[in-house]
Amino acid sequence: MATQAPKPPSPPPAVVRPADVNGGDSVVLERRTQKTKPPQMYQVVLLNDDYTPMEFVVVVIQEFFNKDRETATQIMLKIHLDGKGICGVYSKDVAATKVDQVTEAARRNGHPLQCVCEPIE
Ligand code: TYC
């Protein structure tokens, strides 16, 4: 059985109203504004604490947020100094999964590291 590829979303149709058709030689097209909003995005944030080792936080940021070692170290130090820091921005489901994965890894290793997500804008 042949499967069909999903169609990409098409732009809103322009409208031709009878009043816009002048003597058959010109047509006014009315542009419709896009009705679909982009989805709400969420930032995943790590919070500082006094007990989780710096090395563990760096590895978590590398593994779960796909950062290189240098970027992960910079983010960890920002959290250590400022109290919190953004590790990534995702759709709601992906952000919630990151929070669960990080929290599970922290508890499994006996660390109190806190990870939360918050809507942006
Ligand atoms: N403050 C911790 C320490 O000095 C390190 C740390 C950094 C902990 C970032 C949590 O999200 C965190 N060992």
**How many Cβ atoms are within 10 Å of 103's Cβ, its own excluded?**
14
The residue-averaged pLDDT of 25-43 equals 87
Cα of 37 from ligand 1 centre, angstroms: 37
CA-closest candidate to residue 113, choices 81, 76, 69? 76
Cα of 99 from ligand 1 centre, angstroms: 17
Q: What percent of the chain has pLDDT over 70?
A: 80
Confidence of residue 28 (pLDDT cuts 50, 70, 90): confident
Ligand 1 pocket by C-beta < 6 Å: which residues? 46-50, 52-54, 57, 76, 79-80, 113
- pTM given for the model: 0.77
Confidence of residue 62 (pLDDT cuts 50, 70, 90): very high
Cα of 5 from ligand 1 centre, angstroms: 47
The residue-averaged pLDDT of 43-60 equals 99
Look up residue 71 and give its two tokens: 């970027």
CA-closest candidate to residue 86, choices 95, 94, 27? 95
Q: What percent of the chain has pLDDT over 90?
A: 70
Look up residue 95 and give its two tokens: 């952000």
